[in-house]
A and B are shown apart, each in its own frame.
Chain A
Amino acid sequence: MDTMTIKTLSKVKDIEHKRIRTKKILSNTSTVVWKIFRAVFLFGLCFILLYPLTYMLSVSFRDMKDVYDPAVIWIPKNFTLANIKDVTQVMNYFQALRTSLQVNIVSSLLQLAICAITGYGFARFSFKGKKLLFSVMIFTIVVPPQVIITPIYLGFKSINLLNSPSTFYLMAALGCGIKSGLFIYLFKQFFSGLPRELEDAAAIDGCGFVSCFIRIMVPNAVPVFITGAVLSIVWYWNDYYMGSMLMNNHETVTMALVKLPSSLRLVSGYDIVDPYKIITRMQAGSLLTIAPILVFYIVIQRFFVQGIERSGIVG
Chain B
Amino acid sequence: MNKRTIISRRKQVKQISYEHKKSMAGFFFVLPWTCGVCIFFLLPMIQSLMYAFSKMDISSGSGYTLSFIGYTYFMKAFTTDAVFPMKLFISLSNMLYQVPIIVIFSLFIALIINQKFLGRVFVRATFFLPVIIANGVILSIINGDALSKTVMATASASQLFKNEVLNSLLLESGVSMQVINSVVGVVDSMFSLIWKSGIQILIFLAGLQTIQPSMYEVAKIEGATGWESFWKVTFPILSPMIILNLIFSMIDSFTDYMNPVMAYVNENLVGMKLEYGSALAWIYFVLVMIIILLVYMVVNKRVHYDVK
Interface positions of A (Cβ within 8 A of B):
35, 38-39, 41-42, 45-46, 48-53, 55, 58-59, 67, 70-74, 114-115, 117-118, 120-122, 124-128, 130, 133, 136-137, 139-152, 155, 171, 173-176, 180, 184, 209, 213, 234, 238, 240, 254, 257-258, 275-276, 278-279, 282-283, 286, 289-290, 293-294, 297-298, 301-302, 304-305, 308-309, 311-315
Residue interface bits B248-277, CB-to-A below 8 A is 1, else 0: 000100110100001001100100001001
**Which residues from A are CB-within-8-Å of B44?**
147-152, 155
The number of residues on chain B lying at the interface, defined by a beta carbon within 8 Å of a beta carbon of chain A, is: 91
Known: A147-B45, A151-B48, A171-B36. 16 other contacts (CB 8 A): A50-B129, A51-B160, A53-B133, A73-B153, A74-B154, A121-B27, A144-B284, A149-B44, A150-B269, A209-B22, A234-B132, A238-B135, A238-B136, A297-B128, A308-B205, A314-B241
The 9 closest A-B pairs by CB, nearest first: A125-B26, A174-B36, A121-B29, A175-B33, A148-B44, A151-B44, A151-B47, A121-B30, A127-B23
Cα distance A45–B22 when bound, in Å? 52
**Which residues from B are CB-within-8-Å of A136?**
37, 41-42
Q: How distant is B20 from chain A, measured CB to nearest CB, in Å? A: 10
Query: Is B96 an interface position by the 8 A CB rule?
Result: no
Q: Is B29 a contact partner of A125 (Cβ separation < 8 A)?
A: yes
Q: How distant is B66 from chain A, measured CB to nearest CB, in Å? A: 12
**Which residues from B are CB-within-8-Å of A282?**
141
Q: Is A52 a contact partner of B202 (Cβ separation < 8 A)?
A: no
Q: Is B254 a contact partner of A35 (Cβ separation < 8 A)?
A: no
**Which residues from B are CB-within-8-Å of A118?**
29-30, 32-33
Cα distance A62–B246 when bound, in Å? 42
Q: How distant is B290 from chain A, measured CB to nearest CB, in Å? A: 11
Q: How distant is B47 from chain A, measured CB to nearest CB, in Å? A: 4
**Which residues from A are CB-within-8-Å of B154?**
55, 58, 73-74
Q: Which of A130, A151, A174 contacts B33 (CB 8 A)?
A: A174
Q: Considering only CB atoms, which chain B residue lies closest to A140 in the complex?
A: B41
Query: Is B127 an interface position by the 8 A CB rule?
Result: yes
23 A-B pairs, CB-CB below 8 angstroms?
A: A35-B117, A45-B127, A48-B157, A52-B142, A58-B154, A70-B153, A73-B154, A124-B26, A125-B27, A128-B23, A137-B33, A143-B45, A143-B285, A144-B262, A146-B262, A147-B44, A147-B282, A148-B41, A173-B36, A174-B32, A234-B134, A276-B147, A305-B205
Q: Is A209 a contact partner of B25 (Cβ separation < 8 A)?
A: yes
Q: Is B40 a contact partner of A171 (Cβ separation < 8 A)?
A: yes
Q: How distant is A238 from chain B, measured CB to nearest CB, in Å? A: 4
Q: Is B123 a contact partner of A46 (Cβ separation < 8 A)?
A: yes
Looking at A48, A148, A283, which has the most chain B CB atoms within 10 Å of its CB?
A: A148
Q: Is B269 a contact partner of A53 (Cβ separation < 8 A)?
A: no
Q: Is A46 a contact partner of B209 (Cβ separation < 8 A)?
A: no
**Which residues from A are CB-within-8-Å of B262?**
144, 146
**Which residues from B are CB-within-8-Å of A275?**
147, 151
Q: Considering only CB atoms, which chain A residue lies closest to B306 in the complex?
A: A315
Q: Is B274 a contact partner of A150 (Cβ separation < 8 A)?
A: yes
Q: Is B141 a contact partner of A286 (Cβ separation < 8 A)?
A: yes
Q: Is A147 a contact partner of B278 (Cβ separation < 8 A)?
A: yes
Q: Is A114 a contact partner of B32 (Cβ separation < 8 A)?
A: yes
Q: Considering only CB atoms, which chain B residue lies closest to A114 in the complex?
A: B32
Query: Is B292 an interface position by the 8 A CB rule?
Result: yes
Cα distance A175–B47 when bound, in Å? 20
Q: Is A254 a contact partner of B135 (Cβ separation < 8 A)?
A: yes
Query: Given A49-B129, A114-B33, A313-B206 in contact, is the A41-B124 Cβ separation under 8 Å?
Result: no
**Which residues from A are CB-within-8-Å of B269?**
146, 149-150
Q: Is A290 a contact partner of B132 (Cβ separation < 8 A)?
A: yes
Q: Considering only CB atoms, which chain A residue lies closest to B29 in the complex?
A: A121
Query: Given A35-B117, A52-B142, A127-B26 in contact, is the A290-B133 Cβ separation under 8 Å?
Result: yes
Q: Is A240 a contact partner of B203 (Cβ separation < 8 A)?
A: no
**Which residues from B are CB-within-8-Å of A151?**
43-44, 47-48, 51
**Which residues from A are CB-within-8-Å of B281?**
144, 146-147
Q: Which of B45, B128, B132 contacts A148 (CB 8 A)?
A: B45
Cα distance A36–B142 when bound, in Å? 30
CB contact list, B16-72 vs A, under 8 A: 22-30, 32-37, 39-45, 47-48, 51
Q: Is A142 a contact partner of B251 (Cβ separation < 8 A)?
A: yes
Query: Is B137 an interface position by the 8 A CB rule?
Result: yes
Q: Is A144 a contact partner of B254 (Cβ separation < 8 A)?
A: yes
Q: How distant is A68 from chain B, measured CB to nearest CB, in Å? A: 9
Q: Is A51 a contact partner of B157 (Cβ separation < 8 A)?
A: yes
Q: Considering only CB atoms, which chain A residue lies closest to B35 in the complex?
A: A174
Q: How distant is B19 from chain A, measured CB to nearest CB, in Å? A: 9
Q: Is A49 a contact partner of B127 (Cβ separation < 8 A)?
A: yes
**Which residues from B are CB-within-8-Å of A254?**
135, 137
Cα distance A304–B282 when bound, in Å? 36
**Which residues from A are CB-within-8-Å of B117?**
35, 38-39
**Which residues from A are CB-within-8-Å of B240?**
314
**Which residues from A are CB-within-8-Å of B156?**
55
Cα distance A315–B151 when bound, in Å? 49
Q: Is B151 a contact partner of A276 (Cβ separation < 8 A)?
A: yes
**Which residues from A are CB-within-8-Å of B215?**
none
**Which residues from B are CB-within-8-Å of A313?**
203, 206
